[in-house]
Amino acid sequence: MSEIVSTAEAVDEAFLTETLRRSNAIGEAKVIGLTRTQVGNGMLGESVRFDLTYDRANDGPASVVGKFPSTDPTSRATGAGLGLYLNEVRFYQEIAATVAIRTPKPYRAEIDEASGDFCLILEDMGPARGGNQLTGCALADAETAMDEAAALHGPRWADPKLGEVAFLNRESPALGIAQMFAGIFQAFEVRYSGMLEPDYMDACRTFSENIVAYYQAGPPAPRTLQHLDFRLDNMLFEPQGGRWPLTVLDWQSVTLGAGVLDVGYFIGAGLTEEVRRKHEQDLLRRWLDALRRYGVTDYGWDEAWEAYRHYLLQGVFTAIFASVGTKQTERGDAMFMTMARRHCAQALDLGSLEMLKRR
């Protein structure tokens, strides 16, 4: 493979011209000017919007978004070492076109697996209304997210061909992480003991002590595609001025497993406790109803609710693990503490930690 352009600064007019021609986004037009603007709040990668000027009138995109490895050594090591960069590139190369969820069109998607260098040049979904993890969302946005979750899970529900997709069937790092999670939790506790309320820290500790059961003793569920980080910061509502209801970004964690995990994770992180408690079951039912549109008819409420109560603990895991595995920032701390509070409250409300200890 030729050397990969893996920083925004290395992207120039000739590179974007070649990228857009190769993907049939432009014909004979040439990019003759560009400006760069940092976008997003990604913790493991750098995202930049390139506004483009052409040498002639054409139907090519006025802007594109590039995604590259993080410039922070800790975040880059996490992204490359856990295969997160590989996941995202392969998702755009092999999976995106086979599901109904709306994602940006990739103009370029390439990676060097040895070095972790990668380059994604994606369709710009702006103007759009970005989701905000800190403030949470309105019920209507949560309902839209349930429909889009089903658009990811439904088309490949229990699809045996997913077992043939190499990047989705690599050995999972989950059990390895679980075995060293005591140290990860210790680092989390040292960093956030003055920020996180004692009851929630105790809930995080209980999860840490029982994490192996979380991975090994979960209720059975049909395998499908999981986003695994299905939350507001990875969502754009009404993208391209309302052309679609929602676009979902950041496919670094995509994997195989129970689709209901994404549902519990989103509801726990994206809603205030008051709204979640009032509408949690209604939102789960909406997701189940939306699955029917993709032919999923053999997954009922009792099975889904038990799995929901178990797999929502992914939010507690992420709040602990991701905060330690990425660079520390003021917004990052605020986000992870918001996630920890909401996910721990959800787990305590629904008895998820007691379920876990009994498994």
Q: Residue 74 burial (CB < 10 Å; 0-12/13-18/19+)? A: middle
Q: How confident is the model at residue 8 (pLDDT cuts 50, 70, 90)?
A: very high
| High-pLDDT (> 90) share of the chain, % | 83
pLDDT of residue 217: 87
211: amino acid identity, one letter = I
3-state secondary structure of 56: coil
User: Taking 60 as the threshold, does the pLDDT of residue 1 lie above it?
Assistant: no
Residue recorded with tokens 């070492």: 81
Query: Would you call the peptide bond into 127 cis, given omega within 30 degrees of 0 as the criterion?
Result: yes
- DSSP letter at 216 equals H
CA atoms of 305 and 260, how far apart (whole Å): 9
**Domain 129-358 architecture:** Alpha-Beta Complex (3.90)
pLDDT of residue 322: 87
Q: Which of 7, 33, 36, 226 is nearest to 117 (CA)?
A: 7
Q: What's the mean pLDDT when you consider all of the chain?
A: 94
Q: Which of 58, 53, 20 is nearest to 36 (CA)?
A: 53
pLDDT of residue 41: 64
pLDDT digit string (tens) for 293-308?
999 999 999 999 999 9
| High-pLDDT (> 70) share of the chain, % | 99
Reported as half-sphere exposure (CB side, CA atoms, 13 A), residue 225 has a value of 28
Helix ranges, 293-329 (H): 301-311, 314-325
Q: Which of 205, 175, 221 is nearest to 356 (CA)?
A: 205
Bridge pairing between strands 106-111 and 118-123: antiparallel
**Domain 8-123 architecture:** 2-Layer Sandwich (3.30)
Residue recorded with tokens 């529900």: 157
User: Taking 70 as the threshold, does the pLDDT of residue 2 lie above it?
Assistant: no
3-state secondary structure of 125: coil
CA atoms of 54 and 49, how far apart (whole Å): 16
pLDDT digit string (tens) for 236-281?
999 999 999 999 999 999 999 999 999 999 999 999 999 999 999 9
Q: Residue 234 burial (CB < 10 Å; 0-12/13-18/19+)? A: buried
Contact 101, 239 (CB under 8 A): no
CA atoms of 247 and 235, how far apart (whole Å): 6
Domain spans, the chain: 8-123, 129-358
